[in-house]
Amino acid sequence: MLLDTNPNINGVIFDLDGVVVDTAHFHYTSWKALASEWKYTLTHEDNEKLKGISRKDSVVKIASWAKVKVSENELNEVANRKNEKYLALCTALTPNDILPGISEFIHELKASNVKVALGSASKNALFVLNKLKLTDFFDVVVDGNNVTNSKPDPEVFIKAAKLMNLDPKKCVVVEDAPAGIEAALSAGMLTVGLGNAEELRNAHLILPNAENLTLEQLNKLNQYHLT
C-alpha cells in the first residue's frame, strides 16, 4: 500500500559520509596521521573543510595548509596510504553503524514510491554500503568513481537524478557538508542539511540529525518548490 505522497518530491539523494554513517571521524583520523608526517596538526576546523571533497583534492588542501610542495607521485602515494588507513577502520562497520533515523526514512521513502539514490564523493561508497547491508535499498548509486568533478560541483547529483529519470527540481538532497549543499543548490535541487545550523545555513531545511527525518518533515520544503 502506498502512503501519502508529495507530488513535489520524486527522489531523495543521500550523501554517505556523515549522513548515512558516521565515517567522517575515520577520514579525520586517517588524514591527521598523514598530516603529522608533514609536521602539520590537522584541526577539527580543517577537517570540516575536507567533508565532501575528493581524496586527491583533500591531499592538495592539506599540503597547502602544511606549506609543503608535493609532486604528482607523492600526491598519489599519500592518497593511497590514507585510503589504506581509512579502509582498515571501515572494515569493522556493521548495520549497527547506520545513523539513527536513516533506515526508517529509507523504508518510508520506498513505501511511498519515492526513489532513493546515493550521491557521494567517496570511491569507497559501495564497500561501505555493503558493510551496512544497505546497497539493495538504493535505486541508484553515484560515487567518486563515476564523476570527474567533486562537490561543490553539482555533477554527482545531476548524474543521480538523470539515472533515476527524474527532474532535478523534484529531487531532495540530504547532506552534512557545506560543499554538498552548494553542489545540490547548483544542481537546482531542494536541500536538507543535517548538522550545524550555522555551517549549513544555505540549506532549505536544517535538522540536527536524521532522527526526525520523515516525509512529513519534507513537506516543509513545499514552500520552496522550484518551478
So which residues are the catalytic ones? 15, 17
Residue 182 near ligand B16 by CB under 6 A: no
Measured CA angle at 141 (ends 32, 135), to 5 deg:
85
Q: Which is nearer to Mg ion, 17 or 182 (CB)?
A: 17
Three-state secondary-structure class, residue 21: strand
Residue 52 near ligand B16 by CB under 6 A: yes
How far apart are alpha carbons 140 and 101 in whole angstroms?
20
How far apart are alpha carbons 103 and 15 in whole angstroms?
14
- Written as one letter, the residue type at 101 is G
Cβ distance 158 to 46 under 8 Å? no
Residue 54 near ligand B16 by CB under 6 A: yes
Residue 164 near ligand B16 by CB under 6 A: no
Kindly give, in sequence order, each residue whose CB lies less than 8 Å from that of residue 85, ignoring residues fewer than 6 positions away: 29, 30, 33, 34
CB of 193 to ligand B16, least distance (A): 13
Contact string (CB under 6 A) for ligand B16, positions 101-120, x = contact: -------------------x
Q: Using omega within 30 degrees of 0 as the cis cutoff, is the peptide bond preceding 152 cis? A: yes
CB of 216 to ligand B16, least distance (A): 26
How far apart are alpha carbons 142 and 157 in whole angstroms?
8
10 makes contact, choosing from ligand B16, Mg ion, none, with CB < 5 to 8 Å by partner type, with none
Q: Which of 34, 55, 173, 203 binds ligand B16 (CB under 6 A)?
A: 55
Residue 51 near ligand B16 by CB under 6 A: yes
Q: Which is nearer to Mg ion, 17 or 155 (CB)?
A: 17
Q: Which residues bind ligand B16 (CB under 6 A)?
A: 15-18, 27, 50-55, 58, 83, 120-124, 144, 177
